[in-house]
Every structure is written in structure tokens, then in C-alpha cells.
Amino acid sequence: MLLWVGLGNPEPGMARQRHNIGFMALDAIADRHGFSPWRQRFKGLVAEGSIAGQKILALKPMTYMNASGESVQPAAAFYKLSEEAITAFHDELDLAPGKVRVKRGGGAAGHNGLRSMDRQLGSPNYWRVRLGIGHPGHKDRVTGHVLGDFAKDDRLWLVPLLDAVAEAAPLLAQGKPEDFMTKVALLTQEIR
């Protein structure tokens, strides 16, 4: 079993914020691949499905971003999952809007959701799908940027990106992160 975690904030008024792109990606994957309806469990919402022969538990922590690990850790412990079985989908300031990078481990780079997961899991060696939202240009504007809603113009790259992530998800489930990134890039190249 794999645990795919979308990072975001639970309030309905926050649903369109850049910080919630992890929730959006998980929703797109669950919709595309016919996952079960979302239900409450592990201080979050979970949906179950199968992609490329792998059982996937999708988890959206409802603990707020800064306490995401309080939802992820109990889910991982219940299913006895190693860090290699966990993938976090999250917003990434240091990538241009619409760019995607997958990596295993590393620092939190100021991302409070990742910091909480690191603390609760005791290690940063899980997978991360870094979804680029761009940087506002100055560190004083970061909070407003990540907690701001996507602009109407952002839909031109956001919708195709989420579709591409959902389409390429089988490659991720098969443990082929490089192929996943390549397919997402190919599917979204017309919009750049």
C-alpha cells in the first residue's frame, strides 16, 4: 500500500489558495482513478483506490498545514508503512508555476506542512511531489502569496497541470518518478 498525502488547509474559504495545490492534486487523482468517496479518518479525509495495481490511500489532513504530521503519522503507523511508501504533494515556491519535481527526502525549505511531517515521522525520507506556484519576488510577500487564491489567469496552467498529474499518476505508483515528471512535462508543454 502507498500513502499519498495532499497538503493544504481545511477551511472552505481556503480551497482556492496556492497553499492548497496539494489537496487539488489529490482530488484530481482520486476523481480520475475512481477512488472511493472521501471519509473522515486519521484527523483527515481519506479515499482509497488502486492505480497501476498499487493500492493507494489518499489522505488530506484536516489539521491545518502546520500540523499535517498529526494526521500523516497515525495513518502511516496504522498501515505499518515505511517512509518510502509515503508521498506528499505540496506547493513549491522555488519552482515556476506549473513545473513539477519529484524527490525523496531533503529539508522542509520553510514549508510548515513538510516540517510537521518530518517531526511526526521522525525522518524526512518520504517522497515529495513539488508543485510549482512561483515566488512572489521578495520574502516579505511569501505569506500573502501562498495564502492568496490562484488568480483567474492561473487557471490556464493550473487546470492542465492537475489533469497531467492525474494522468501520469500510474508512473508514480509504479515507482518511476523520472517518467512521471517527463509525462507531466509533455502533457503541459503546450501551455508554457
Query: Residue 144's domain is classified under what CATH number?
Result: 3.40.50.1470
- Decide if pLDDT at 110 tops 90: no
- Decide if pLDDT at 107 tops 60: yes
pLDDT-derived band of residue 108, with 50, 70 and 90 as boundaries? confident
Q: How much is the average pLDDT of 35-52?
A: 98
Which one is catalytic: 19, 33, 90, 111?
A: 19
Q: Could you list the residue range(s) of the whole structural domain that residue 6 is in?
A: 2-191
Average pLDDT, the chain: 95
Contact 63, 44 (CB under 8 A): yes
Q: How much is the average pLDDT of 40-57?
A: 98
Q: Count up the domains in the chain and report the number.
A: 1
Q: How much is the average pLDDT of 28-36?
A: 98
* pLDDT tens by residue, 75-98: 999 999 999 999 999 999 999 999
Return the residue matching grid coordinates 498529526.
70
pLDDT-derived band of residue 39, with 50, 70 and 90 as boundaries? very high
pLDDT at 191: 54
111 an active-site residue? Answer: no
Reading the block at residue 96, the C-alpha cell is 515556476
pLDDT-derived band of residue 56, with 50, 70 and 90 as boundaries? very high
Q: Give residues with Cβ within 8 angstroms of 44, minimum separation 6.
A: 59, 60, 61, 62, 63, 71, 75
50 CB neighbour count, 10 Å cutoff = 12
Q: How many CA atoms lie within 13 A of 44 on its CB side?
A: 29
